[in-house]
Amino acid sequence: MEGNDTVEKRQMDIRQVLKALPHRYPLLLVDRVESLTLNEEIHAVKAVTFNEEFFQGHFPGAPIMPGVLQIEALAQAAAILGIETLELAGTGKLVYFMGIDGAKFRAPVTPGCLLDLKVSFLQKRSRVYKFAGKASVNGKTTCECEFTAMIADPPE
């Protein structure tokens, strides 16, 4: 895999996250990066608030973050890991989902939570990468899965 092989752990604030990802409100699901080790892993955080648009319908009176959005948050963390590892921030390259395997949902995520997103590389091949992801709240796993993504140019 091309890119920087340093084992330095670094953090990213929201401004740096916005430089690494093309996502914007309401679909930006990473608020900060607690630690990122290039070529290895990332620990990012999503602050889940009652103001999220999806809580209006999922579910009124019993707000729960949809599981697919937990997976999307993990994918966005993986995208940051890949883009930063390959030093592609600002190039316009996008990270596309290719597959999700073994998704399991263990506990609900409700407003007021800090959702920890931990993702690590499982396999690296040319432009296709496989990741393992786990989301948790206060150390309790809420979602886990493996997924495959590809880094490519945006559609014309």
Name the residues annotated as catalytic: 58
Neighbours of 151 (CB within 10 A): 18
DSSP string, 122-135: EEEETTEEEEEEEE
* List of E strands, the chain: 9-12, 32-37, 41-47, 94-105, 114-125, 128-137, 140-152
